[in-house]
Structure 1
Amino acid sequence: MIKQITNLAFFVMLSVAAVAQTSPQASNGQNQQRRRNQPRPFALTVNDIAKTKVDTAKLNAAFKNVYPGFAVADGYRTKHEVTMRIIDTTKDFTLKAGPGEIVANSKWLKKKQNLQNFQQSLQDALHKNWVSVDTIKKDGYQLVFINKNEKFDPTIQKNLIDTYFEVYPKLVNMFNDKSTHEVVFITDTTYNGVAETLGNRILFATKYMNKHPYDVDIVTHEGMHIVQGYGYGSGPVWLTEGIADFIRYKYGVDNVGSKWYLPAFKDKKEGYKDSYRVTARFFEWIDQKVKPGMIVQIDKELRNHTYTADTWAALSGKSLDELWAAYSTSPDLHLVYSSKNI
Structure 2
Amino acid sequence: MKIVFKIIPAIFLLTAAIRVNAQNKRQWQDIDTSGFHTRSQNSKNGFTLITINKDSLFSAETLQRIKNAFWQIYPREVKRYNKKALRTVTILIGNDYKGVAATLNGVVKIDQDWLTKNPEDIDVFTHELMHIVQGYTYNVPDNWLTDGIADYARYTFGVNNSKSGWALPAFQNGQSYKNSYRVAARFLVWVEQYKNKNIVKKLDEALRQGNYQPAIWQKLTGSKLDELWTAYAANPMLKTQ
Q: TM-score, normalised by structure 2?
A: 0.89
Alignment partner for residue 313 of structure 1, among 218, 221, 229? Answer: 218
CA distance in 2, matches of 1:26, 1:148: 22
Alignment partner for residue 220 of structure 1, among 115, 126, 135? Answer: 126
Contact residue 8 and residue 99 of structure 2 kept, 8 A: yes
Instruction: Report the residue type matching 2:92 in the other structure.
Output: I
SS where residue 230 of structure 1 aligns? coil
Which runs of 5 or more residues in structure 2 are unaligned?
none
| 1:86-97 to 2 correspondences below 5 Å | none
Contact residue 19 and residue 197 of structure 1 kept, 8 A: no
RMSD, matched Cα? 2.5
Contact residue 195 and residue 205 of structure 1 kept, 8 A: yes
Name the counterpart of 1:128. Answer: 34
CA distance in 1, matches of 2:73, 2:107: 16
Which runs of 5 or more residues in structure 1 are unaligned?
1-16, 43-67, 75-125, 337-342
Say if 1:193 and 1:155 are closer, same or farther in 2 by CA, change over 3 A.
same
Alignment partner for residue 178 of structure 1, among 73, 84, 103? Answer: 84
Q: Given the alignment of the two structures, is residue 208 of structure 1 paired with residue 114 of structure 2, yes or no?
A: yes
Alignment partner for residue 38 of structure 1, among 21, 24, 37? Answer: 21
Contact residue 242 and residue 277 of structure 1 kept, 8 A: yes
CA distance in 2, matches of 1:165, 1:177: 15
CA distance in 2, matches of 1:171, 1:26: 21
Alignment partner for residue 175 of structure 2, among 262, 270, 281? Answer: 270
Alignment partner for residue 188 of structure 1, among 94, 98, 112? Answer: 94
The one-character-per-residue Cα deviations of 1:97-145 (angstroms, maximum 9, x if unpaired) are: xxxxxxxxxxxxxxxxxxxxxxxxxxxxx53334111111222211111
Shift of 1:228: 0.4
Contact residue 33 and residue 54 of structure 2 kept, 8 A: no
Instruction: Report the residue type matching 1:146 in the other structure.
Output: I
Q: Given the alignment of the two structures, is residue 197 of structure 1 paired with residue 103 of structure 2, yes or no?
A: yes
CA distance in 1, matches of 2:231, 2:210: 27
Q: Give the structure with higher Rg (CA).
A: 1
CA distance in 2, matches of 1:290, 1:246: 16
Q: TM-score, normalised by structure 1?
A: 0.64
Say if 1:19 and 1:241 are closer, same or farther in 2 by CA, change over 3 A.
farther
